[in-house]
Structure 1
Amino acid sequence: MDYKTILYLLIGILTFDFLINKVLGLLNNKSSKQPIPSELAGIYNDEKYATSQTYQSEVFRFSIISSTFSFILMLAILWLGGFGWLDEYLRGIAPVEPLTSLYFFGVVYIVSDLIGIPFDLYGTFVIEERYGFNKMTVKTYILDKIKGYALTLIFGGIIASLFIVLVMFFEENFWIYFWVAISVFMIFINIFYTSLIIPLFNKLSPLEEGDLKTAITNYSQKVGFPLNNIFVIDGSKRSSKGNAFFSGLGKKKKVVLYDTLIEKHTNEELVGVLAHEVGHFKKKHIIWSMLLSILQTGFMLWLLSKFIFSSEISWALGGNVTALHLNVFAFAILFSPISMIIGVFMNLFSRKNEYEADEYAVKTYDKKPLIAALKKLTSDSLGNLTPHPWYEFMNYSHPSLLKRIKAMKAIK
């Protein structure tokens, strides 16, 4: 395949991806205008439901603007050979590997992030602020950016350097060694995420003594879950939206409850939410999800090994020599249709896990508090009660609220 055909293929893939996401978004936005399903009556009053629909539409319209800008910019850079120009310029500064590739990845990351900052600022400090969700200050935003850059420099630099060195020494077989290394890194991050990464951005505190802890203690003893691994995170410093999640493996496993969740829910609802998270642990969902992610990464790296030394791919991006970093960048685009298909199956798997965790919570605790908590979470975040089936199928990692409630009510 000559380089011009590859260039057209890259442009075609980007265009297809852009159009399919816009069509699905339009369908979903239209679907959000439907009346409240009878099974969900009472979540919103008429005024708040209208606000929810307005919020959903505004977020969608803004996403069209930001994604269209990114799409047009990427097409222009590809068509004009901008990445090839950047490669040639950096070779004059750092003519040897791994420096050339490291500089390339660094420049692309920083420039793309800087371009995205105005959109991010508007989404956070205008749209989210308008609807009462944003609690972040400009200072927190700046500090988050600095910390994010530092983590990317450290972890991204190490991973990228290792990748480049392995390609240089092992050529087509690099993927085996890098797959092992990145798998170890993924496991490490999963185990220590709440211990090492989260404290850089948020404060984690053990659940305090009180009625809530007593209720949770009783449930935890009943199902054999260690209470000392339940923490509260100060999510209110960034958003008023509540959440809870499970993270880690072995002795490092933790259930994390947002302080905003605790403020807005009854003790019974919070125990219901906890029971759902414990269900993920008992059903080994974290382990299975990690294993699937590792397998997906291995497949992607194997496929990359078939393209990484192609001169035509480098030329398609405007390069005048075969460049590892140009080929990696082009491969990320070429892989996106496969990634989309894999993402659909991963979402199917994730939704199955959510149903199972709900079922565990219902059978070990009670369905009514969990249903009440999910309704309140949706209302507080102005969530979409009527997502379009195709949008949900392609993008939702959790089943829609209506489907979750119907499934729980069907459990005897």
Structure 2
Amino acid sequence: MEKNSLFYVILAILVVQYLVHQYLEHLNAKRFKSSLPSELADVFDEDEYQKSQQYQRTNYKFGVISDGFSLVLTICFLSFGGFEWVDQLTRSITKDMIPMALIFFGIIMLGSAVLGLPFSYYQTFVIEERYGFNKTTKSTFLSDKLKGAILSIVLGGGILILFILFYQSTGSNFWVYAWGMVSAIILFINLFYSRLIVPLFNKQTPLQNGSLKSSIENYAQQVGFELQNIFVIDGSKRSTKANAYFSGFGKEKRITLFDTLINDLTEDEIVAVLAHEVGHYKRKHIIVNLIVSLLTTGLTLFILSLFINHPEVSLAIGVSTPSFHAALVGFALLYSPISEITGLIMNYLSRKFEFQADDFAKTTFDATPLVTSLKKLSKKSLSNLTPHPAYVFVHYSHPPLIERIRNLKA
């Protein structure tokens, strides 16, 4: 089949994005030889620092291979009629629009999952195992993959069906109804993620009465933060890495602590971490992020509505019979540069919000335990202590550790 101009635009986008990404990775990798920052010498000795740099180097090399494989596979699939083959196979099963779209994306997602499984397995059971992080059993690994697939089928399939129904019934205005639907889903997930989704993968238990719970509740009362739900999640069944997060609104808001966090930090350090999370809520970061996410979704769907009916978009991925599902894939590939730009904006906002949440914790609690907690968590996860500024600008949603410490000590 003859290739149209949009086909070559897609190839150019894929190659340029890959080269830019690899250049940034290369710049970042050159910093792995940097000296240990003096502010962190009290936590990291030279051997531990070298271990963290080696971990970053290992992940860098693995990323070069996995990203390169993904690029070559995508280009081959585009160039040799992979999407056309899937489309023809789908049309041999059904001619109805909705079943066609479900089968088409089902085949592509299944193929992607199967091809990506060895890389995911190696990441978990070789790299993470080698550096002492992995606690995932093979049965948990497979169970997570299966549950994730079922969730994708149910949620993704349901959204796709509604998309097409809106498209069939409202034509070019379908994006407005689709935006309303996606917005409702995003709000629902933000409200009930911890109550409905997390239990599918992890066990959550209320934090037991005791000194830690009393300290958290006392702090929350001091800053006027109504908190009734404090849960502990069994993160240790998958990894030794620690975390804490805030979720929900109103009566559904809750703070979730990883059991590894409780084991690794002192009581004051845990309260300081939670003060940071409360800072996000008090500074309205949750609301702002939600609004920006909804506006970005609306923009994407509006632009989609301008392209979805153009046969050239389907032809761009090698599909000879234009269709909604083929145009959706073509649009996703063509839209990716805009996604990169919105991603940069979101990361910039996120880094700014992290500094503000740190300032809130410093003002309402204490900077010292937050600094020590950040150092411990960074050491525990072997994070990159000297990332390249360009890499940070593009990829980091949180400021580097050294910048956060300097800000807290300012």
- TM-score of the two chains, using structure 2 as the length reference: 0.98
After TM superposition, give the deviation of residue 3 of structure 1 in Å: 5.2
> Where does residue 362 of structure 1 map in the other structure?
362
Superposition map of 1:42-121 within 5 A: 42-121=42-121
Instruction: String of CA shifts for 1:281-332, please: whole Å, max 9, x gaps.
Output: 1111111101100000000000011111111121222212111111111111
Unaligned runs of 5+ in 1: none
After TM superposition, give the deviation of residue 130 of structure 1 in Å: 0.5
> Where does residue 203 of structure 1 map in the other structure?
203
After TM superposition, give the deviation of residue 41 of structure 1 in Å: 1.9
What is the CA–CA distance in structure 1 between the aligned matches of 2:193 and 2:10, rounded to whole Å?
A: 35
What is the CA–CA distance in structure 2 between the aligned matches of 1:345 and 1:7, rounded to whole Å?
A: 28
> Where does residue 407 of structure 2 map in the other structure?
407
Whether 1:140 aligns to 2:126 is no
| Number of equivalent positions | 409
> Where does residue 295 of structure 1 map in the other structure?
295
What is the CA–CA distance in structure 2 between the aligned matches of 1:283 and 1:367, rounded to whole Å?
A: 18
What is the CA–CA distance in structure 1 between the aligned matches of 2:3 and 2:357, rounded to whole Å?
A: 49
Superposition map of 1:5-44 within 5 A: 5-44=5-44
**Counterpart AA for 2:202:** N
> Where does residue 345 of structure 2 map in the other structure?
345
Q: Secondary structure at the match of 1:335?
A: helix
Q: Secondary structure at the match of 1:256?
A: strand
What is the CA–CA distance in structure 2 between the aligned matches of 1:149 and 1:43, rounded to whole Å?
A: 41
> Where does residue 167 of structure 2 map in the other structure?
167
What is the CA–CA distance in structure 1 between the aligned matches of 2:357 and 2:32, rounded to whole Å?
A: 27
- Alignment check: 8 A CA contact 1:247 1:254 kept: yes
Instruction: Identify which range, 37-46 or 285-294, moves more after superposition.
Output: 37-46
After TM superposition, give the deviation of residue 191 of structure 1 in Å: 0.1
What is the CA–CA distance in structure 2 between the aligned matches of 1:54 and 1:341, rounded to whole Å?
A: 31
After TM superposition, give the deviation of residue 214 of structure 1 in Å: 2.0
- Alignment check: 8 A CA contact 2:244 2:258 kept: yes
What is the CA–CA distance in structure 1 between the aligned matches of 2:368 and 2:269, rounded to whole Å?
A: 8
Instruction: String of CA shifts for 1:262-295, please: whole Å, max 9, x gaps.
Output: 0010001001001001111111111110110000
What is the CA–CA distance in structure 2 between the aligned matches of 1:147 and 1:225, rounded to whole Å?
A: 35
Instruction: Identify which range, 264-273 or 312-321, moves more after superposition.
Output: 312-321
What is the CA–CA distance in structure 2 between the aligned matches of 1:326 and 1:86, rounded to whole Å?
A: 10
> Where does residue 125 of structure 1 map in the other structure?
125
> Where does residue 393 of structure 2 map in the other structure?
393
Q: Percent identity?
A: 48
Unaligned runs of 5+ in 2: none
- Alignment check: 8 A CA contact 2:3 2:318 kept: no
Instruction: String of CA shifts for 1:81-108, please: whole Å, max 9, x gaps.
Output: 2101211121010111111111111111
- TM-score of the two chains, using structure 1 as the length reference: 0.98
> Where does residue 243 of structure 1 map in the other structure?
243
